[in-house]
Structures are given as structure tokens and as C-alpha cells.
Amino acid sequence: MAQLTVLNPTGYPPKVTAKPMAPRVNTLDGKRVALVDCRFDDSDIFLKEMQGWFEQNLPNVKSEFIQIRNVYTKDDPETWQEIQKGFDAAIIGVGH
């Protein structure tokens, strides 16, 4: 059968640039962990329950509930700096 040549309909993706991750902590014992609420649906309830789990199961972990300052679609450097200065690790959620 005859063959056709057709054009590819897809656009041009950007080059992927490596983003190094932060080194992990050795242990959470005695560390401050930010529970970061992205303020989407009922994430706050979920993270407060997670805080309760830490208090009950790993009381040496200092978990603290914080909320981003604006909508999750906006960058929030104030909150990221607050986490950088005050915490050893972060758990952010809930993406759904």
C-alpha cells in the first residue's frame, strides 16, 4: 500500500534541567518538621491528624502545622523561607 508522509502535531517541550534535592536528615529524632498545608480541600484536617500521629508515636519529633499564605497556584517565598529558617524537614500535602 502507498505510504504517506505526515507532520508531527506536537509542540516543543523545554529542555529538562537537573534540580538537586536537599540531603536527607539522619533521623527525625529531635528535629523540627513542618507539616505544610497547601490549603486544598481538607488538607488541613489531614495534616493535623498527622501531627497527632507524631505526638502519639514519635513524641521526640517536633512537628508543627503551617499553612501557605495564599492559593497553592501562587509561589510563596515567605513561607518557603520560614520553613528554611525554622525547620529541618517538611511534609507538604495533600495533592489531589
Partner 1 sequence: MTIDHKYQVPTVAVHTDIFERVTRSVARVNGMPKMRQAYVPQPVMGKSPAELRAYIEGNDMVSGRPFMQEVIDGLTTPLDSEGAQGISFDRSTPRLVEPDTEDNLHQLFLDRHWTDTLPIVLPTEARVEAMLRGTSHKPDEVVGHMRPTGFREFWEFTVEKVAVNAVMAGCKPEYLPILLALASTGASARASTTSSAAAMAVVNGPIRHELKMNSGIGAMGPYNHANATIGRAWGLLSQNLQGGSEPGLSYLGSQGNNYAYTSITYAENEERSPWEPLHVQHGFKAEESAVSPFGGCRSTAFTLGIHEKYWQEHVRNLLRGMDPHNSPCYVLDPITARQFVDRGIKTKEALIDWTYENARMPAGEYWSYQLIQNYVYPRATYGEEPYASLLKAKPDELIPMYTRDEIQVVVVGGETNGYWRIMGGGHRGTTSVDKWR
Residues that bind partner 1 (CB under 8 A): 1-28, 33-34, 36, 39-43, 45-46, 48-50, 52-53, 57, 68-73, 75, 80-81, 83-84, 87-96
Of 57, 70, 67, 74, which is closest to residue 93 (Cα–Cα)? 67
Tell me how far, at minimum, the Cβ of 18 lies from partner 1, in Å.
Answer: 3
Does the CA dihedral 8-17-73-42 come out positive or negative?
Answer: positive
Tell me how far, at minimum, the Cβ of 72 lies from partner 1, in Å.
Answer: 8
Pick the closer one to partner 1 by CB: 12 or 59.
Answer: 12
Of 24, 28, 95, 18, which is closest to residue 58 (Cα–Cα)? 28
